Structure 1
Amino acid sequence: MAEGTQEEQRFVRDDWYGEEITGRHYLRCEFQETDLSEAVTRNSVFTDCVFGNVRFNASRHVDSAFTGCSFKRCNFFDAEFTGCKLVGSSFTECELRPLRVTGGDWSFAGLAGADLRAVTFQGVRMREADLTGADCAGAVFTDVDLSGALLHGVKLPRADLRGSDLSALDPLDAELTAAIVSPEQAAVLVTSLGLHVRA
C-alpha cells in the first residue's frame, strides 16, 4: 500500500489478507468485517478508529500505533505486537488468544473481563490499564509497568509476574494461586497485606 493519510473512511468486508501496510495513517476510520489475517503493519498509525468483527489472525504489527481505537468482536488469534502504542484503546468481546506483545505502550487500554489466558506481555507499559475481572491464568506479564492499573477481581493463577510493577495489586482482591513473583515483589505483596517481615 502506498503512503498517505485517510480520514473518516469506511471499509466494509475489505480483503487485506497478507497486506504490507507501511507508513499509513488512518484517522477516525471504520473497519467492519475486514480481513487483516497475516497482514503486517509497520510505522502505521490508526487514530480513533473503530474495528468491528475484524480478523487480525496471525497478523504482525511493528512500531505501529492504534491509539484511542475501539475493537469489538475482533479475532487476534496468534497476533503479535512489537513496539506498538495502543494507548486508550478498548477491547470488547475479542478473541485475544494466543497474543504476544513485546515492548510498546498499552496504558489506559480497556481489557476488562478479557480472556487473556496464556497470553504474553513483555516489557510493556500498561499504566492505568483496565484489567478488571480479566482471566490471565497462565499468562506472562514480565517487566510490565502496571502502576495504577485497575486489577479488581483479576485472575492470575500460574501467571509469571516477575519484574512487573504490582503496586496496584490487592492480593485479597485477586486470584494468585501459584503465580510466580520475585522476592522483591513478594515483599511488596506482603506489605500490602499489612504484614511486617522481620528476620
Structure 2
Amino acid sequence: MVDKKCLTVLKRGVQYWNKWRKKDRYLQLDLRGINLSGEILLGINFTGVNLAGAILVKCNFCGANFDGANLTGANLSEANLSGVSLCGVNLTGAILIGTNYLGAESTSSNWSLANLTGADLRVVDFARAELSGANFIGANLNGANFIGANLTRANLQLTELEGAKFNHANLVQANFASANLTSANLKQANLSEANLTQAKLSKTSLTQADLTEANLSQANLTQADLTEANLSQANLTQADLTGANLSQANLTQADLTGANLSQANLTQADLILAKAWNLID
C-alpha cells in the first residue's frame, strides 16, 4: 500500500523529494506496488525505501541511490540504472529484462531468482552479491565484478563476460553454455558441476579452480591457465586446450576424448584413470 504522504512529496519532483529525505533520513517509506513507469527520476534518493512489487518499467534512474531498498518482485524492465548504487538491495524475484546498469554498484545485494535477460551489466560491481538462480541469458557482463558472489545454479548462457572477475565465487551448477569468458578471472572459483559447453575460455585464469564434474565439452581453453585446478571427472571431450597450462592439475577420471592438447603444459598433472582417446597433441 503506497503511503499517501510519500506519493504527494514524490509528485513535487526529485529535488523536493531529496530535500525532504534529508530532514529525516531514518523515516520508513512505503511505496509498495507503486507504478512509476516511464518516469524520469535522475539522482533520486530511494535509500531504504520499500518498493516491493513496484512497476518501474522504462524509468530513468540514472545516478540514483537505492542502497538498502526493498525491490522484491519489482518490474524494472528496460529501466536505466546506469551509475546507480544498489548496495544491500533486495531484488529477489525482480524482473530486469533489457535493463541498463552500466557502471552500477551492487555489492552485497540479493538478486536471487531475478530475471536479467539481455540486460546491459557492463562493469557492474556484484562483489559478494547473492545471485543464486538468477537468469542472465544473453546479458552483457563484460568487465563485471563477481568476486566472492554466490551464483549457484545461475543461468549465464550466451552471456558476454570478457574480463569479468569471479575470484572465489560460488558457481556450483551454474550454466555458462556458449558464454564468452575470454580473459576472465576465475581463480579459486567453485565451478563444480557447472555447464561450460562450447564456452569461450581463451586466456582465462582458472588457477586452483574447482571444476569437479564440470562439463567443458567443445570449450575453447586455448592458452587458459589451469594451474592446480581440480578437473576430476570433468568432461573435456573435443575441448581445445592448445597452449593451456595444466601443470599440477588434477585430471583424475577426466574425459579428454578428442581434446586438442597441442603445446599444453601437463607438468606434474594427475591423469590417473583419465580417458584420452583420439587426442590431438
Instruction: After superposition, give the CA deviation of every residue in 1:108-153 in whole Å (9 maximum; x if it has no partner).
Output: 1111122222222111111111101212122211111111211222
CA contact (8 A) 1:124 1:143 kept: yes
CA contact (8 A) 1:170 1:192 kept: yes
Specify whether residues 171 and 110 from structure 1 end up closer, same or farther in structure 2 by C-alpha distance, changes over 3 A only.
closer
2:204 corresponding residue in structure 1: 124
CA contact (8 A) 1:150 1:168 kept: no
Specify whether residues 73 and 153 from structure 1 end up closer, same or farther in structure 2 by C-alpha distance, changes over 3 A only.
closer
1:99 corresponding residue in structure 2: 179
1:53 corresponding residue in structure 2: 133
1:21 corresponding residue in structure 2: 101
Q: 2: distance between equivalents of 1:4 and 1:20?
A: 10
4+ residue runs over 4 A deviation: 189-193
Identity of aligned residues (%): 23
CA contact (8 A) 1:145 1:165 kept: yes
Instruction: After superposition, give the CA deviation of every residue in 1:141-178 in whole Å (9 maximum; x if it has no partner).
Output: 11111112112222212110012101133555322111
1:70 corresponding residue in structure 2: 150
- Which residue type is aligned with residue 94 of structure 1? A
Instruction: After superposition, give the CA deviation of every residue in 1:55-102 in whole Å (9 maximum; x if it has no partner).
Output: 101111122211100013322121120111111111233332222211
**Would you tell me which structure has more strand in proportion to its own residues?**
1
2:113 corresponding residue in structure 1: 33
TM-score scaled by length of structure 1 = 0.86
Q: 2: distance between equivalents of 1:67 and 1:120?
A: 20
CA contact (8 A) 2:230 2:250 kept: no
TM-score scaled by length of structure 2 = 0.62
- Which residue type is aligned with residue 63 of structure 1? G
Q: How does 1:1-199 map to 2 (within 5 A)?
A: 1-170=81-250, 173-182=253-262, 184-185=263-264, 188=266
Q: 1: distance between equivalents of 2:176 and 2:206?
A: 16
Q: 2: distance between equivalents of 1:5 and 1:20?
A: 13
Larger radius of gyration: 2
What is the aligned-residue RMSD (CA, Å)?
2.1
Q: Which moves more between the two structures, 135-144 or 4-13? A: 4-13
CA contact (8 A) 2:110 2:129 kept: yes
Shift of 1:4: 4.1
Q: 2: distance between equivalents of 1:123 and 1:149?
A: 15
Structure 1 gap segments, 5+ residues each: 194-199
> How many residue pairs are counted as aligned between the two chains?
191
Specify whether residues 105 and 175 from structure 1 end up closer, same or farther in structure 2 by C-alpha distance, changes over 3 A only.
same
- Which residue type is aligned with residue 127 of structure 2? T
